[in-house]
């Protein structure tokens, strides 16, 4: 049985990933701070706010122990993310800065580390997919927190993949930017003021001109990539639109 652990499963890509993975016969463990309404015998939902970072290791260990008896592979998809706070450094709330880094960087780091540790003796395919962003590779005014979190996630993934590549049965890691997708995050972005996010009109135009990708299509392409041999051949930092 192929086991997937996915964060941020209440909407957008995360919810689509769960539905499509279940349809394909996989077992899925979802982590989110809200319910998503999925009732399926191969879906297990764990309620947790990712800002509660002290609870993440125990949760990962619990999930893997529950799933190990019938597992033929494990894949962790760190999908959850937050665009907030949007605004200029010096003007944004310090508590929101901390929450942003917790969700976008600290939580994926802890979950990845726990995943690697708990599966260290398992001789099976083990994969970690970080949902990154072009904002981690190109700076934007007003997105300093988001850019920093995603840039840190990219560097973390590169470093850990180097570590794991030296092991006989290491984990393969990829940090992938999925493109601009029509999700609730995009709605939040479009509601920004020009003073907080000078590029807001460009993102409004993406929506108006139909340039946003569909979450269902992105999830389908992402799953196909994860399950293909290409997953082991691409650069650690990858853009889904180039595959």
pLDDT in tens, 224-233: 999 999 999 9
Q: Provide mean pLDDT across the span 173-188.
A: 97
pLDDT tens digits, one per residue of 129-138: 999 999 999 9
Whether 182 shows a pLDDT value over 90: the answer reads: yes
Percent of the chain with pLDDT over 70: 100
**Residue 161 pLDDT more than 90?**
yes
Q: How many residues does the chain have?
A: 243
Does residue 38 surpass a pLDDT of 90?
yes
Inform me whether the pLDDT recorded for 214 exceeds 90.
yes
Query: Of 29, 43, 146, 206, which is the active-site residue?
Result: 146
pLDDT in tens, 189-204: 999 999 999 999 999 9
Strand-pair category, 73-78 with 43-47 = unpaired
Where does 166-214 have alpha helices with state H? Answer: 184-190, 200-208
Q: How confident is the model at residue 212 (pLDDT cuts 50, 70, 90)?
A: very high
Q: Helices 215-226 & 12-23, crossing angle to 10 degrees?
A: 60
Catalytic residue flag (residue 46): no
pTM above 0.95, yes or no: yes
Looking at every residue in the chain, the average pLDDT score rounds to: 97
Helix 94-101 vs helix 144-165: crossing angle, to nearest 10: 30
Domain ranges of the chain: 2-182+215-242
Looking at residue 68, its pLDDT comes to 81
Q: What is the pLDDT of residue 10?
A: 97
For the stretch 105-136, what's the b/e string if a residue is b when 16 or more beta carbons lie within 10 angstroms of its beta carbon? bbbbbbbbebbbebbeeeeebbbbbbbbbebb
Enter the CATH code of domain 2-182+215-242: 3.40.50.720
Q: Looking at residue 137, what is its pLDDT?
A: 97
pLDDT band at 51 (very low <50, low <70, confident <90, very high): very high
Helix (H) or strand (E) holding 118: helix 107-118
User: In this predicted model, what pLDDT tens digit does every residue of 92-126 receive, in sequence order?
Assistant: 999 999 999 999 999 999 999 999 999 999 999 99
pLDDT of residue 70: 83
């Amino acid at each position: 049985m192929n086991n997937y652990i996915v964060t941020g499963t209440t909407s957008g890509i995360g919810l689509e990933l769960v539905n499509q993975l279940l349809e394909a016969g996989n077992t899925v463990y979802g982590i989110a701070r809200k319910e998503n309404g999925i009732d399926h015998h191969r879906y297990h939902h764990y309620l947790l706010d990712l800002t509660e970072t002290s609870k993440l290791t125990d949760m990962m260990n619990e999930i893997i122990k529950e799933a190990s008896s019938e597992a033929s592979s494990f894949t962790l998809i760190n999908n959850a993310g937050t665009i907030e706070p949007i605004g200029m450094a010096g003007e944004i709330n310090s508590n929101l800065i901390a929450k942003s880094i917790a969700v976008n960087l600290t939580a994926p780091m802890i979950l990845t580390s726990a995943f690697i540790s708990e599966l260290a003796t398992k001789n099976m395919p083990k994969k970690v997919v970080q949902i990154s962003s072009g904002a981690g590779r190109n700076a934007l005014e007003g997105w300093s927190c988001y850019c920093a979190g995603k840039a840190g996630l990219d560097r973390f993934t590169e470093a850990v993949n180097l570590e794991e590549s030296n092991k006989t049965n290491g984990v393969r890691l990829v940090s992938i930017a999925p493109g601009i997708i029509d999700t609730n995050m995009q709605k939040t972005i479009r509601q920004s003021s020009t003073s907080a996010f000078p590029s807001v009109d460009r993102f409004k135009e993406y929506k108006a001109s139909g340039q946003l990708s569909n979450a269902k299509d992105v999830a389908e392409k992402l799953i196909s990539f994860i399950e293909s041999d290409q997953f082991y051949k691409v650069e650690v930092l990858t853009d889904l639109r180039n595959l």
